Structure 1
Amino acid sequence: MYPSRAKVAGHPVHPMLIVFPIGLYITSFIFDLIYLSTGASFWYRMGFWTILFGFVGNIAAAIPGFLDYLTLPPNTEARQTATYHMGIGIALAILYFANLLFRNWGFIGENQTPWGPVILNLVGVLLIGIQGWLGGELVYRYGVGVQETRLAREERLRKTA
């Protein structure tokens, strides 16, 4: 087990914060789909704003995640998985920052279909799924950010006694 070093009241911060960018990024993709089906530019603008707030949340969640990464011992499966998880996270931050730049503050010209930002959003949502799976591996398989329970501690002490 590798308990989190970035905690508030004993709870790891990274999982508390990461739900915001995940939810906002996926919502922006849904807004893009609504825009494509209705043509109402409101949804395209809302996609821009959800990505912007998601990006801010992404940076905020990455900081405690990186602090936890630094506590993992080198040359372990947990560290290797965390490296992949972090690499995808960096790629996502770059992808969504590029998406913001392409969106021109949410304004779109007449009769334009913004395929570039929509495709970036689709790729981003797919990468979020992969990164989330790796994050789950870190927690459930390797115990990253997990504190040893009283029962597990008693069992461990009983085996060593």
Structure 2
Amino acid sequence: MNKITLAGQPLHAVLGAAPAVLIPFGFILDAMHSATGDEDYAKASYLSMAGGIIGGLAAGMAGVADYVADKPQGEARREGQLHGALTGAALLVGAANLVLRRQGTHARGGSLALTALSAAGVLASEYLGQRMGKEAGTGERAEAGVHADQDDIRIDHRAPDVEQYVAAGPSSLHAPE
């Protein structure tokens, strides 16, 4: 897997922190504006949402580059596409919210609902992304097979180690395609 990294960490995950924090924080600020009527909360929410969307676009570019380089198959492919679609939809809702605010419709109350929807989408996408990363890191996606003596065995082809293949002996396992 050829992931773009920054200081040894996947760039997509590093940049993904911006929308995962800033967009829900924008919702909190929007709720505070709704409760108090203080325009400073609305301005801070706008800036937080804008920063989250910019960070989300940067994270999305890194994520697409990783996805194309990795060429996932099966469930990993489906989850990657769902993660991208959730993030994209949340960013579109957030961007639409920012455009409506620029046109002066923030005071009508629909902005809070759009901010909540965007925050929920980003958080759901972040949860899915974290779950995918955890599964990739723990080898839960390691290929399963049955050893010649009918014992279940798992080999993680993403981190090839000759010892695991030798220890497995003859089995129904095959090399990755």
Letter in structure 2 aligned against 1:89: T
Match in the other structure for 1:147: none
Match in the other structure for 1:68: 66
Report how far residue 74 of structure 1 moved: 5.0
Partner of 1:129, secondary structure, is: helix
Match in the other structure for 2:57: 59
Q: Is the 8 A contact 1:22 1:54 kept in 2?
A: yes
Q: Is the 8 A contact 1:32 1:43 kept in 2?
A: yes
Report how far residue 140 of structure 1 moved: 1.5
Provide, for residues 111-153 of structure 1, a one-character-per-residue CA deviation record: whole Å limited to 9, x for no partner: x843211001111121122111210221112349xxxxxxx95
Which one is further off, 28-37 or 3-12? 3-12
Q: 1:4 to 1:15 in 2, by over 3 A?
A: farther
Counting strand residues as a fraction of each chain, which structure ranks higher?
2
Partner of 1:5, secondary structure, is: coil
Whole-Å Cα distance in 2 between the matches of residues 33 and 103 of structure 1? 15
Match in the other structure for 1:102: 100
Which one is further off, 82-91 or 124-133? 124-133
Pick one of 133, 136, 139 that aligns with 1:139: 133
Unaligned runs of 5+ in 2: 139-157, 167-177
Counting helix residues as a fraction of each chain, which structure ranks higher?
1
Provide, for residues 72-105 of structure 1, a one-character-per-residue CA deviation record: whole Å limited to 9, x for no partner: 3354110110000001111112111101011127
Whole-Å Cα distance in 1 between the matches of residues 73 and 6 of structure 2? 29
1:124 aligns with 2:124: no
Pick one of 66, 80, 83 that aligns with 2:81: 83
Size of the aligned set, in residue pairs, is 147
Q: TM-score if structure 2 supplies the norm length?
A: 0.74
Match in the other structure for 1:157: 162
Which one is further off, 126-135 or 76-85? 126-135
Report how far residue 158 of structure 1 moved: 1.4
Question: What's the C-alpha RMSD, in Å, of the aligned pairs?
Answer: 2.4
Identity %: 23
Q: TM-score if structure 1 supplies the norm length?
A: 0.80
Q: 1:30 to 1:4 in 2, by over 3 A?
A: farther
Pick one of 23, 29, 32 that aligns with 2:30: 32
Q: Is the 8 A contact 1:28 1:48 kept in 2?
A: yes
Whole-Å Cα distance in 1 between the matches of residues 113 and 159 of structure 2? 48
Q: Is the 8 A contact 1:88 1:127 kept in 2?
A: yes
Determine which structure has greater relative contact order: mean sequence separation of CA pairs < 8 Å that are 6+ residues apart, divided by chain length.
1
Whole-Å Cα distance in 2 between the matches of residues 45 and 76 of structure 1? 44
Pick one of 9, 12, 31 that aligns with 1:11: 9
Q: 1:38 to 1:63 in 2, by over 3 A?
A: same
Letter in structure 2 aligned against 1:81: E
